[in-house]
Structure 1
Amino acid sequence: MLLDHLVLFVDDLTTAIARFESRGFTVTPGGTNGPTHNALIVFANDTYIELIALRSSRARLIMRALRGLGMLALRRWLKRDLQTRLLDWMSGPQGLIDLCFRGTELTEINNSSPLSGMVLTDPVQFKRHRPDGLVVQWTLRGANKRRQPFFIQDATPIDYRIPAGDVRIHPNGTLGISEVRTGELIEPSVSNVKITHDPTLQPGSVSVTIVNELDATDHIHGPDFFNVDIHLLPKSSDQQKT
């Protein structure tokens, strides 16, 4: 099992792209998928951060209103499916709101999940139209426990969804996500990134360490950066920690 990407939901995609580019990240247009559009910060270690937003600002306001009225909480109580999870994204505050793990066969993940008491939702097929016209297809499954990750399996070549090449080269020297600290215990484990339960974090909170090949540090956080907590560290200091 691998960490595939982190989901960062924002109010306005154009603003998010500009903010991250101002801190030295290369941001690649992703495309459109139904009511949403996205952009990707892709790293050399095959992980990425997905910047995603509703295409309509009015739709965002409606979703926030439905959440405030308790309508989405009622749906969550009645039905714990993948759609409920996605509605949580669209109606919640800005921030790093989800983790996605990648497996080769989602049926195998489901077969092993009862060991941890986790049950996966039914698989749902998705597709996204890239700006170059290419259609990307994949399957998602969620978990009955909202704080646990969701899972992805590619139906088209993975480099359709996670582009390679110069898009992975960042002016700030970023190489990839090395650690994700969360406010709750995450199951199952992954082999490419350190996932750490940090009880000092609030439930649902995520803190990310990204290593770079330059002798540079940065801390990206706060309301102006969509409530994220991202630490950019030199690769050498990250290795010393481990």
Structure 2
Amino acid sequence: MVVAVRNLADASRSYRALGFNVVAGGAHGHAPTRNALVVFGDGSFIELIEWSAHSPADRWQHILEADGEGLVDFAVSTQDLAGLLACAQSHSIQMAGPIDGSRKTVDGFDLRWRVGWPASREIPFACCDMTPRTARVPDGDIRLHPNGVTGIDSIWIAVVDAPASLGRYQQLFEVESARYPEADAFGVCMAVVDFGATQVVLVSVEAPAMTAVATRVRNYVARRGQGPCVLVLCSPKQPNPINLNVADTCGVALRLCANREPPRTYLNSTLQA
């Protein structure tokens, strides 16, 4: 999960105050950026990213400058980027690549990877490591967090057309998926894509619905475009689900829960919170 921030040092302090271990990442070679990571036991991670200069072609920085800090993108890891790019092309899904990326760690190690870059942030970009992934995504005790978070439970994606987005996921990835008709009562269409321990929840507005959920999704897409809008983390130590204050999370709508909640609870607790 990529979180665009204005000041990396401040953002790192904020996440540490919330009980997360934050490790310095380093400076990128392909962009005027540097990052810090919050790595979880399941191998997923949050990337806090800061810019040192204006980068006109950078869509993440554009969102930061236009609408403020918060979630700007998300990624999946793949060992077959060429195959994924070919699959996208065969289904007329716009995805550029392979595009080289690099970062020098604070220890001086040169990391290299390649990405597949979709035209729309409704779909994750794909990352293929050219150097060992454990060098880019640290292992060990850094993955143990005082607040007990062990991984990403679900990622909510605000989209224009959830059924159409679901079709693109089904074409690109070998994943289970389902539609949730009960979301109609909230004025939205919802589909869930299962990536194992993590679910991707696609939500779009059913026009002309004006419910609280529909209004939030509509406004989010209008401000930041299609893309991730809510992040739910698994925290077995958390006795009751809790929504963290966005003032403390650099604009991220962040929810902690011990167990996966039913879709109706999610709609009430995340998109109406």
TM-score (norm 2): 0.70
Residues 1:8 and 2:3 are matched in the alignment? yes
Residues 1:212 and 2:212 are matched in the alignment? no
The alpha carbon displacement at 1:19 in A equals 0.6
Instruction: Report matched runs for 1:34-113 at 5 Å.
Output: 34=29, 35-54=32-51, 56=52, 59=53, 62=54, 84-85=58-59, 88=62, 91-92=65-66, 93-113=68-88
Q: Contact (CA 8 Å) 2:4, 2:71: kept in 1 or not?
A: yes
Which SS does the other structure have where 1:206 is aligned?
strand
Instruction: Report matched runs for 1:17-28 at 5 Å.
Output: 17-28=12-23
Instruction: Assess, with a 3 A threshold, how the Cα gap between structure 1 residues 103 and 89 changes in structure 2: closer, same or farther.
Output: farther
The alpha carbon displacement at 1:218 in A equals 2.9
Q: Which runs of 5+ in 1 are unaligned?
A: 1-5, 64-71, 73-82
- Select which of 28, 39, 47 maps to 1:33: 28
Q: Contact (CA 8 Å) 2:89, 2:95: kept in 1 or not?
A: no
Which SS does the other structure have where 1:16 is aligned?
helix
- Alignment-mate amino acid for residue 95 of structure 2: L
Instruction: Assess, with a 3 A threshold, how the Cα gap between structure 1 residues 195 and 116 changes in structure 2: closer, same or farther.
Output: farther
Q: Contact (CA 8 Å) 2:122, 2:157: kept in 1 or not?
A: no
Instruction: Assess, with a 3 A threshold, how the Cα gap between structure 1 residues 206 and 86 changes in structure 2: closer, same or farther.
Output: closer
Instruction: Assess, with a 3 A threshold, how the Cα gap between structure 1 residues 212 and 155 changes in structure 2: closer, same or farther.
Output: same
Q: Contact (CA 8 Å) 1:110, 1:119: kept in 2 or not?
A: no
The alpha carbon displacement at 1:103 in A equals 1.3
Q: Which runs of 5+ in 2 are unaligned?
A: 176-194, 205-213, 264-273
The alpha carbon displacement at 1:89 in A equals 5.5
- The aligned length equals 211
Distance in 2 separating the partners of 1:195 and 1:221: 22
Q: Contact (CA 8 Å) 2:246, 2:252: kept in 1 or not?
A: yes
The alpha carbon displacement at 1:159 in A equals 0.3
* TM-superposition CA deviations, 1:98-137 (whole Å, max 9, x none): 0112111111101211455312113221211111121111
- Alignment-mate amino acid for residue 62 of structure 2: D
Partner of 1:125: 100
- Select which of 242, 247, 250 maps to 1:226: 250
Distance in 1 separating the partners of 2:250 and 2:12: 12
Q: Contact (CA 8 Å) 1:183, 1:206: kept in 2 or not?
A: yes
The alpha carbon displacement at 1:87 in A equals 5.2
Distance in 1 separating the partners of 2:107 and 2:118: 33
The alpha carbon displacement at 1:223 in A equals 4.1
Q: Contact (CA 8 Å) 2:4, 2:61: kept in 1 or not?
A: no
Between the two proteins, what is the percent identity of the paired residues?
26
Distance in 1 separating the partners of 2:14 and 2:91: 39
TM-score (norm 1): 0.79
Bigger shift: residues 137-146 or 86-95: 86-95
Q: Contact (CA 8 Å) 1:85, 1:142: kept in 2 or not?
A: no
RMSD: 2.2
